[in-house]
């Protein structure tokens, strides 16, 4: 880990490795190999060994990877050996599904608050949360020290919401609106859009 930054594409594979390892651990497994991981994930064993070796010495020739040890290390590298509070913006179908999603637990994240600008939604319950007014968003997020947010508002509002989130001190945004949002240096965005995923596949269909 001296000097050169790790390529983003390598960083992007670590959560996939971690997820597979956590699944094996839940099944009671203690040891795996780059071969086995590779078969599960459709990634070559050599690639997995190379990726992991950029972060340290996790496996032994012949004995493979100790699953709990590798999980502990990957959680540390990805900084999910803690729990990050998150804000959800937009209490429509997608925002509500996110706020109720059970899959964040034990993976480093927790929804802490949800916002909407629709007076008909503000004050209503979504999962464990009462929807807050977007007008209070910057203040609430800043006061709570929240640094991660998910945007689930219509495309036309997404950039303005992102600008507000940045103002509030958010450093990482997962954007569900179907357009690219721009953020300043030092803020991270990931876009998730079912249609772009689907179009990557239709390319290959007859």
CB nearer to a second copy: pick between 76 and 136:
76
CB of 138 to a second copy, least distance (A): 19
Q: Which chain residues interact with a second copy by CB under 8 A? A: 8, 11-12, 14-16, 18-20, 23, 40-42, 77-80, 84, 86, 93-94, 96-98, 100-101, 103-104, 107-109, 147-148, 150, 155, 171-172, 174, 178-180, 182, 188, 190-205
CB of 53 to a second copy, least distance (A): 17
CB of 61 to a second copy, least distance (A): 26
CB nearer to a second copy: pick between 29 and 100:
100
What Å distances lie between residue 81 and 17, 31, 109, CA to CA? Answer: 15, 21, 10
CB of 123 to a second copy, least distance (A): 21
CB nearer to a second copy: pick between 100 and 136:
100
CB nearer to a second copy: pick between 120 and 195:
195
CB nearer to a second copy: pick between 137 and 149:
149
């Amino acid at each position: 880990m001296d000097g050169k930054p790790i390529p983003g594409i390598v960083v992007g594979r670590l959560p996939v490795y971690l997820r597979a390892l956590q699944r094996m651990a839940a099944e009671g497994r203690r040891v795996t190999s780059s071969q086995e991981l590779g078969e599960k994930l459709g990634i070559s064993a050599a690639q997995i060994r190379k990726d992991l070796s950029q972060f340290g010495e996790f496996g032994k020739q012949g004995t493979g990877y100790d699953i709990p040890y590798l999980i502990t290390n990957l959680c540390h590298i990805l900084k999910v050996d803690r729990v990050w509070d998150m804000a959800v913006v937009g209490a429509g179908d997608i925002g509500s599904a996110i706020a109720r999603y059970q899959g964040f637990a034990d993976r480093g994240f927790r929804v802490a608050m949800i916002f909407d600008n629709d007076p008909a939604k503000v004050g209503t319950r979504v999962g464990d949360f009462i929807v807050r007014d977007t007008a209070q968003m910057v203040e609430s997020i800043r006061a709570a020290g929240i640094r991660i947010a998910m945007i689930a508002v219509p495309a036309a509002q997404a950039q303005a919401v992102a600008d507000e989130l940045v103002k509030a001190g958010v450093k990482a945004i997962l954007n569900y609106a179907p357009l690219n949002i721009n953020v300043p240096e030092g803020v991270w965005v990931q876009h998730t859009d079912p249609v772009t995923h689907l179009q990557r596949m239709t390319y290959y269909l007859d």
